[in-house]
Amino acid sequence: MTLLLQISDPHFGTEQPPVVDALLRLAHTLQPDLVVMSGDITQRARRAQFSAARAFVDTFGATPFVVVPGNHDIPLYNLFARIAHPYANHQRVFGRDLEPEFESTELLVMGVNTTRAYRHKDGEISTQQVERVVRRLERVTPRQLRVVVTHQPVVAARANDFRNLLHGREHAIERWSQAGVDLILGGHMHLPYVAPLHVAYKDLPRQMWAVQAGTSLSSRVRGTVPNSVNVIDYDGSNAGARRAIIARWDFNQAHASFEPVMQHKLDLNSESLKTPLATLL
């Protein structure tokens, strides 16, 4: 069994200390094998905000992280920095690699940087980035959960969110489905949901899901949706019957703790595309 914790859009600079404390308690209890941070680590890409994010990550000790930037992690008001070295502060604390990977016996997680200095909010993915993931999947093993991490989403749950979708997503979804990707993790909209991409895109050769996370720590919650994170529990012990449970944990203000509110059970080896296998419990 492998446990993956997805933390998205913490927006350090707007983080809420009680929520931070609650998330650290949850992580201490769960002891995840990997933590994914799917962008918008900071509110305005400032050095102090990245330093606060680094201090937060350091509290996890030896737990590995996969961190990709979001559009808020590029300077907005400092136009020279945005053009000349947009990722300088991000790379100062998280390293030079903007598309990190993690691999274990049961996991292959690939980060993809979908931000662009010339775009304000929108994300974009290039053909070269798509094919890099495809080539990497040539070495995947039957037991591994195959995960791509972007910031901007590839599918919307609400009609007014279509404008936030990743540019180039159609080609990426088609190629990644052919290559064997199971999950595409994202953030950006502060709205958590799990969506079967094989339903949204009818011609995909296999099942694949988008897993969106809400804002984990920020005061910038969306409407009545509280701070939330995703916990992915994966069993790859039987390569012919791979299973994943994706649980959404919301912050309960009255209890000052993160609590599970719903989960999706995924059969990752089913080839049937007639009905989605994500079951809301």
User: The domain that contains 95 carries what CATH number?
Assistant: 3.60.21.10
Residues 6+ apart with CB under 8 A from 175: 130, 131, 133, 134
Domain that holds residue 219: 2-280
* Count of domains forming the chain: 1
Residue matched to tokens 């019957």 = 241
Q: Which two tokens stand for residue 156?
A: 């919307």
* pLDDT tens, per residue, the chain with 281 residues: 899 999 999 999 999 999 999 999 999 999 999 999 999 999 999 999 999 999 999 999 999 999 999 999 999 989 899 999 999 999 999 999 999 999 999 999 999 999 999 998 999 999 999 999 999 999 999 999 999 999 999 999 999 999 999 999 999 999 999 999 999 999 999 999 999 999 999 889 999 999 999 999 999 999 999 999 999 999 999 888 999 999 999 999 999 999 999 999 999 986 543 333 333 33
pTM, two decimal places? 0.94
Start-end of H helices in the chain: 17-30, 47-58, 79-84, 88-94, 127-136, 169-179, 197-200
Nearest to 229 by CA among 201, 260, 207, 203: 260
